Structure 1
Amino acid sequence: MKKALLIATVLLLGSNYGVAQASRYGVRIGANISSISSDDIADDFDTGRIGVVVGFFAEYAFNEKLSIQPEIQYSGQGNKEEDLRADYIQVPILFKYNFNHIFNIQLGPQAGIKIWEWEDNQNDNVDFNTFDYAVVGGIGVNITDNFFATARYSYGLANVFDDEDLGISLDGNNTVIQLSVGYRL
C-alpha cells in the first residue's frame, strides 16, 4: 500500500509524463453515511454517522472511455456514538470507465490514515488502528463539462479497532456511502 500511496502522490502532483493523453484537476465535497460493520458492537451503538468528505483529484484519460483518478480527501467516518468516531485522510485510486459523456463507473483501492478519533478522558475508549484500507466502487454523472455528481460505496478491508490496551477482542470494518458533487478545471 505504501507503493500505491507514492504512486498516487506522484500522479496527483502532476507528474503524468507518458501516462495519459489528457489531464484535468478538481475538487469534490459531499456527505458520508458511515458505520462500522461489526458483530462486536452492541445494537445501541450501531447507528451510522453522517460526516463530511472534501477532496482534491487529478484525472488522467488514457482514451475516451478509460481514465485513472487519484485523489486525496478528508473523510469523517464511524458511528453516531462519539466513542466510535474517527476521521481519515484517504488516497483512493479509481479507474473510471465512461459509458458516454454523461455516465461513468469507478472502481479501485483506497488507503487511509487516521488523523483524529474521539477521546473521553473519563472512560476507557476503544482505540482505532492508524491505517485503513478499502475497496471503492461508484457511479458518476457529468452535469456539465465541469460539474459532476458521484455516489460511491467503500468497504473497509482492515480491522478498524486497536484493542490491545483494553485486553478485549473487537473486529469491525468501515462501510461508507458517499454522495458528493464536484468541479473539474
Structure 2
Amino acid sequence: MKKLRLAVAVIAAAALCPFMAKAQIDLGAKAGLSIPNLTSGSSSNPINSGWSSRLGLDAGIHAEFYLTKRFSIQPELRYSSQGGKKDGNQGFVPQGQLLQYFQATQQPVPPYLYADYKSEAKFNYLMVPVLAKYHFGFSPKWDLYVAAGPFVSFLLNGKNETSGTSPIYADEAHTKPLQLPAQSFDNTQDIKNDLKKANFGISGHVGLAYHVNSRSAIFIEGGGNYGFVKIQKDTKNGENNTGAGVVVLGYSYRIKNK
C-alpha cells in the first residue's frame, strides 16, 4: 500500500511538472494563530475526553503555481501547533510512587486514577500540505479564493505540562479517595516518544487577498486542518486525533509571469 501511494504521488507530480514549468508562480509567507484541540471517537478511555482548545503558532511558506487564471496548485511548508488542554477532574495512568502505594497496601492497581488539576498537551509538527486553489477574482485589486487538499506532517516535539494540587481518587466520581496527602501535579513531561512520528490528513482555508501592485499582495486566511491518525502509540495513553482552526496574515510576491 505504501509503495502504491508513492507511485501515485510520483505519477501525479510527473504529470503536473510540464504545466508547472510554464506556470505563473507566486511565493508567499504567512503566520498567525493556531487554535488546536484533540478529538476522540467512541472509546471509553478517560484520557480521550475533556479536552478543550489551546492557542499556538501557525506559520509557513508556500509556492503557488497557476495552471489557469483561476486554478492553481499550492504546496506549503508549515510549522503547526497542535494539542489541547484540560482543567478540572481528569484521569491519568498510575505510575511511580502511586504504583508503590498499591503494592504496599496490597490493592489491585486500577487502570486509571483521577484528580483535579490543569494539563496542557503541546505538540508541534512540520506540516506539508498540497492544496488545490480556486480564485474567484471579482476585482482587479481584490481576490477571494478557497483552497483544500491533503497533508503529511512530522512530529517535531511533544510535551505535557501539568499544574495544581489535588487528592487522588480511584474513581471518576471521587467517592474512593486514596489514603494519601494531596499530591502536587506541577510537572513538564516530554512525551515525544509516546507519540507516532507522522500523521496525514486534510487542510483547507478561505482567503482574501489585496493586490498592492502587479506582483505583490497581502492576504488573510481562515481555515483548519484535521489529522486522520490516532497520535498515541499506546491506547492506554488515549486515542486522539489532532485538529486545529487557523487564522493567518501573509504576503506573496510574483516571481514569474507567463
TM tier relative to shorter chain: 0.7 to 0.9
The range that moved more, 126-135 or 63-72, is 126-135
- How far apart, in 1, do the equivalents of 2:190 and 2:123 lie? 16
- Whether the 8 Å CA contact 1:86–1:128 is kept in 2: the answer is no
1:48 to 39, 44, 53: 53
What RMSD in Å do the two structures reach over aligned CA positions? 2.9
1:176 maps onto 2:213 in alignment? no
Shift in alpha-carbon separation, 1:50–1:22, aligned structure 2, 3 A? same
- How far apart, in 2, do the equivalents of 1:61 and 1:152 lie? 21
How far the C-alpha of 1:122 sits from its partner, in A, is: 7.9
Gaps of 5+ in 1: 11-15
How far the C-alpha of 1:80 sits from its partner, in A, is: 2.7
1:28 maps onto 2:30 in alignment? yes
- How far apart, in 1, do the equivalents of 2:243 and 2:83 lie? 8
- How far apart, in 2, do the equivalents of 1:125 and 1:78 lie? 12
- Whether the 8 Å CA contact 1:77–1:86 is kept in 2: the answer is yes
Query: After superposition, what is the alpha-carbon deviation per residue over 1:68-122, rounded to whole angstroms, capped at 9, x for unaligned?
Result: 1100011111013555221000101011011115111101001100000016788
- Whether the 8 Å CA contact 1:50–1:80 is kept in 2: the answer is no
Shift in alpha-carbon separation, 1:123–1:55, aligned structure 2, 3 A? closer
The percent of aligned pairs where both chains have the same amino acid is 24
Q: How does 1:148-167 map to 2 (within 5 A)?
A: 148-163=219-234
2:83 to 66, 71, 78: 78
- How far apart, in 2, do the equivalents of 1:32 and 1:66 lie? 27
How many residue pairs match? The answer is 174
Q: How does 1:131-146 map to 2 (within 5 A)?
A: 131-144=198-211, 145-146=216-217
How far the C-alpha of 1:175 sits from its partner, in A, is: 1.4
Q: 1:146 aligns to what SS in structure 2?
A: strand
1:128 maps onto 2:188 in alignment? no
- How far apart, in 1, do the equivalents of 2:189 and 2:69 lie? 55
- Whether the 8 Å CA contact 2:159–2:190 is kept in 1: the answer is no
Query: Considering only CA atoms, is the larger Rg found in Structure 1 or Structure 2?
Result: 2
- How far apart, in 1, do the equivalents of 2:230 and 2:198 lie? 9
- Whether the 8 Å CA contact 1:152–1:179 is kept in 2: the answer is yes
Shift in alpha-carbon separation, 1:123–1:51, aligned structure 2, 3 A? closer
Runs of 4 or more, structure 1, over 6 Å off, are 120-124
- How far apart, in 1, do the equivalents of 2:19 and 2:68 lie? 13
2:39 to 27, 37, 40: 37
Query: After superposition, what is the alpha-carbon deviation per residue over 1:28-72, rounded to whole angstroms, capped at 9, x for unaligned?
Result: 1011000010254242xx121111011110000001110011000
TM-score, normalization by structure 1: 0.81
- How far apart, in 2, do the equivalents of 1:91 and 1:157 lie? 15
- How far apart, in 1, do the equivalents of 2:131 and 2:156 lie? 22
Q: 2:73 aligns to what SS in structure 1?
A: strand
- How far apart, in 2, do the equivalents of 1:71 and 1:134 lie? 14
